[in-house]
Amino acid sequence: MKAEPAVQRQMLELAKVDADLSRVEHRRRNLPELAEIAEVEKTLRERRDALVAVETSGSDLDREIARQEKEIESVRAREDRDRKLLASGTISAKQLTDVEHELETLQRRQTALEDDLLELMERREAIELDAQRTGAEVDKAEQTLADAAKRRDEAVADLDATQARRDADRANLLPRFPDDLLKLYERVRAHKGIGAALLRSRRCGACQLDIDRNAIAEIKAAPEDEVIQCENCGAILVRTLESGL
């Protein structure tokens, strides 16, 4: 394949543009903010699940407290009825004994219920504190996520600007190359990552491997417009004064 030496040298500029675009794409896929966001999102899900669990426990306790309070009210109402019955003086001696016994039972029942209610309310208070703490953790995780997302968006905006600029540079370069040379460049780049590189001091600028003496002798003997490829990686070797030929 033939191409003017000046055209071949311009391939170094194209390769530089493509290297910049590759770095942009690599950075886009490996932004540290992406890993941070994934980790914070996991933490946030865990915190939200914990908050739901705490709030559910609180709701369950609220129902239990309400049931306990209703039971206490029922015992108090029955106790009030018995005391009114005693105060009426209309009951027999046997009924009096039965009512007094029932009052003692009701008092013990009320004391037990009130003790249970106190324990429930203490547990509810502890759960409320837990809910406040977990809610604060959720808020903190949400803020951390928002901060990371903002930094990611800023980084992506910078990458988009760089990519747009280098895409424009590439579009301006492409018409300078003949189709067959450009197809060779693109084919090598698709397989090896680098389509063209400078030959400097017997070393390929793409794969960074030294070229043996026989190959160097052939390159020296080749016409200036001959398109040379690296025997190791296939990249187009661009010859300049730095090549030391």
In angstroms, the CA 112 to CA 131 distance is 28
- 34 closest CA partner among 149, 142, 138, 143: 149
Q: Are 29 and 208 in contact (CB under 8 A)?
A: no
The whole-model pTM stands at 0.73
Residue range 205-218, pLDDT digits in tens: 999 999 988 999 99
Residue range 15-66, pLDDT digits in tens: 999 999 999 999 999 999 999 999 999 999 999 999 999 999 999 999 999 9
Q: Strand, coil or helix: what is 228?
A: strand
Dihedral of the CA atoms 91, 95, 98, 103 (nearest 10)? -10
For 138, half-sphere exposure in the C-beta direction (CA atoms, 13 angstrom radius) is 15
Q: Are 230 and 204 in contact (CB under 8 A)?
A: yes
